[in-house]
Amino acid sequence: MTALVDTPTRPAAPAGPLTRPRTRQADRRRWQDGPTPASLADLAALTREVAAEVDAGRHGVEVDPVRRWSRRLHADDHLDVWLISWTTDQGAELHDHGGSLGALTVVRGALTEWRWSAGSDDDGTCPAEELHARGPGLRRRVLDPGRSVAFGLGHVHDVTNRALETAVSVHAYSPPLSAMSYYGVEAGVLRRTRSELVAPGQSPG
């Protein structure tokens, strides 16, 4: 497997479910995604790996009917990984991830994502389930079991469980979340309503 982080001056860590020893050959293209040695592809691949572990019963999942349940499965200076369960109508407010890249994989159930698009440039690449629209606005996509999506810098979205079945998902952020901003849409314009610091170990969203 490839690694998320180069640590040439430290002893190699013991192999484990979240240890991804990276090739010694540095891939400078990773830095194009954001301020982290992990790329969007790395994060998506990692969430798929951990999702398979969850599906195999290696990580316990709890359900809270009042608020989203979450557990941090891994944390270091470069990366944190979260396991989240969503009952019907539980969701996250329209938000970004500050200076962090992110990715998620749905383990079971389904999640609905509304993501902000600034214009028509990416409309031609929208999957069929997204709203057919031009210009600035929110685009919808349904994330079924096994579906992975990655979030670059500036990605603004909300995620909700609109189904009756409880949804379970794995999320990864690099660097670990430290700030998030929240948004509203008024007359077709995206407006930031507030920004908040995220304490280490605080559940995302």
**Domains within the chain, CATH numbers bracketed:** 30-197 (2.60.120.10)
H or E stretch covering 130: none
Residues in contact with 29: Cβ distance below 8 Å, sequence separation at least 6, in sequence order: 39
State the burial class of residue 155 (Cβ atoms within 10 Å of its Cβ: 0-12, 13-18, 19+): middle
Task: Kindly state the tokens that stand for 27.
Answer: 């891939």
Q: In whole angstroms, what is the distance from residue 28 CA to residue 110 CA?
A: 35
Q: In whole angstroms, what is the distance from residue 105 CA to residue 17 CA?
A: 16
Residue 31 one-letter amino acid:
W
- The structure tokens 């214009």 sit at 119
Q: What is the pLDDT along the chain (205 residues), one digit of tens a residue?
A: 333 333 233 333 444 445 443 333 334 444 445 667 889 999 999 999 999 999 999 999 999 999 999 999 999 989 999 999 999 999 999 999 999 999 999 999 999 999 998 765 554 455 544 545 566 789 899 999 999 999 999 999 999 999 999 999 999 999 999 999 999 998 889 999 999 999 988 888 6
User: Model pTM?
Assistant: 0.79
- The structure tokens 């500050």 sit at 98
Residue 149 one-letter amino acid:
V
- Residue 133: predicted pLDDT: 56
- Residue 114: predicted pLDDT: 94
